[in-house]
Amino acid sequence: MTTITLKQPNIPVKLPEGLSEEKLLAFSPFNNWVKTLTNSLSLQRTNTSHPFHTDPYALRSVTIQSFDLFGRAPNQRLGFLKLTAEVSNDAGETLPGSIFLRGPSVAMLVILVPDDVQNESNSDYGERYVVLTVQPRIPAGSLEFVELPAGMVDEGGTFAGTAAQEIREELGLEIPASELRCLSDMAITEESGVKGEEGLPFAMYPSAGGCDEHIPIYMHERRVPRDTLKEWTGKLTGLRDHGEKITLKLVPMKDLWREGARDAKCLAALALWEGLRRESKL
């Protein structure tokens, strides 16, 4: 391993063979993690009511254990990082710091309403249908995992743009990014009181105990001919040259909590949609 020193904060970072300082510092998930953690640690000292104010923790060092590259040589870039962070206070107490960095993703709640339904907005779930994807998820040990459509945000990409792209690729729907509504942004506002001082993104964290991934949830609702609903059920989609083998599944929105019970994105989307509806924001 080689060791470099970050300029801000001034901490040593151990790099494994094959990972250069240049590639690491070009990886925005790493930079964003360091920036966010540094800000959160600084709040211990400035906020006298912080639970760690009397004996604040500090980031002492980082060790990059392994990495995965995306793309083809010579234009490969970092895709995933596995690292450990030593975070401790002067008493020698440590905080868990085994981390998988992969950066943000987006999820899409796409709702379809038959165009012959009347006064849909006055009902609760009404005759709304949600589009789910069924696809292999090898990390979960599944070849038929049911979930909301989702995708990783590429370096330099926007959340809304990625959401629109994933809807087009996975569902075959052309929806301009401007027509998508971010449920996460609508729920976490200055007025909501849950924004906080740490500067965390307005998004859902599916596994904050070990991973930096955060997922803002977008939605789009549209009316479609009733026959279209039948056509969509069981439709094969996805980018085959990217290894995507996706089957679409339409479920009544009233059953979404059950049909998507294994998918954190799905449950979070439903909770946000219901909460925003209760407050008349949707």
Determine the pLDDT at residue 34. Answer: 96
Determine the pLDDT at residue 240. Answer: 45
Write the CB contacts of 233 (distance below 8 Å, at least 6 apart in sequence).
248, 249, 250
Query: What distance in Å separates the CA atoms of residue 254 and residue 128, rounded to the nearest whole number?
Result: 8
SS (H, E, C) 40-108: HHHHHHHCCCCCCCCCCCEEEEEEEEEEEEECCCCCCEEEEEEEEEEEECCCCCEECCEEEECCCEEEE
Residues 242-258 as b/e (b if ≥16 CB within 10 A, e otherwise) read eeeebbbbbbebeebee
CA nearest neighbour of 168 among 115, 216, 108: 108
CB count, 10 Å around CB of 29?
A: 20
Query: What distance in Å separates the CA atoms of residue 19 and residue 160, rounded to the nearest whole number?
Result: 31
List pLDDT tens digits, range 151-209: 999 877 888 999 888 888 877 788 888 989 999 999 987 676 677 788 899 999 999 99
105-278 CATH, one of 3.60.15.10, 3.10.690.10, 2.70.98.40, 3.90.79.10: 3.90.79.10
Determine the pLDDT at residue 84. Answer: 98
Residues of the chain with CATH 3.90.79.10: 105-278
Q: Are 1 and 17 in contact (CB under 8 A)?
A: yes
List the chain pLDDT tens, one digit each, 282 residues: 899 999 888 999 999 999 999 999 999 999 999 999 999 999 999 999 999 999 999 999 999 999 999 888 778 889 999 999 999 999 999 999 999 999 999 999 999 999 888 865 545 888 999 999 998 999 999 999 999 999 999 877 888 999 888 888 877 788 888 989 999 999 987 676 677 788 899 999 999 999 999 999 999 998 988 888 877 777 776 544 555 588 889 999 999 999 999 999 999 999 999 999 999 998
pTM of the model: 0.89
In the block, which residue shows the tokens 């709040």?
43
Determine the pLDDT at residue 99. Answer: 98
Helix, strand, or coil here: 113?
strand
